[in-house]
Amino acid sequence: KWVPHQDFYCEVLEFKDRSYYIGFKYDAQDLDRAGFLREYANRPIAISGLRVCAFREINKQYSFESVDVDLVDMFAQKYVTCLILDFHHRAQFQYCLNLFDVYPTRLFVDLKGKTREPFLLVIGTPAFLVHAELREKWESNRQTTQHPNP
């Protein structure tokens, strides 16, 4: 029987270790960030060389754990349809991701100058759905800035 407005107490015995998340790494050391965005981002593409990784984020720093080599090789050798989005502008994409119940994973890209940048990665058919919605939004924004309402 439901009893409204009752107090509930619990005792925390210990905190759970932070979970690891599954993401991907990609090697693009021949490109800088702008070049990578131009070549790979904001449109559906088929990409090979994605390496599965397990990561955890603590204080905006990433730590990585090794993953079974067979699993890493399975993805790295195949072309995967995906949409890569700029992690730093993720707030712009959140509406579209929520609209389709899409939960992107992280893509860590090794760029020129030995930098590793995080991106968002939408894998498979949802890449096309999210891209279509984003493209419509981008086109609408472009028309609004070119022809502002009086």
Distances (CA, A) of 11 to 14, 15, 16, 103, 131: 9, 11, 14, 33, 46
In a domain, 14, yes or no: no
List the chain pLDDT tens, one digit each, 150 residues: 555 666 667 787 877 677 888 999 999 999 999 999 999 999 999 999 999 999 988 888 888 888 888 888 888 889 999 999 998 888 878 888 888 888 899 999 999 988 999 999 999 999 999 999 888 877 777 766 654 443
Count up the domains in the chain and report the number: 1
In a domain, 9, yes or no: no
In a domain, 13, yes or no: no
In a domain, 74, yes or no: yes
pLDDT given at position 5: 63
In a domain, 8, yes or no: no
Domain membership of residue 138 as a residue range: 21-146
In a domain, 107, yes or no: yes
pLDDT given at position 28: 96
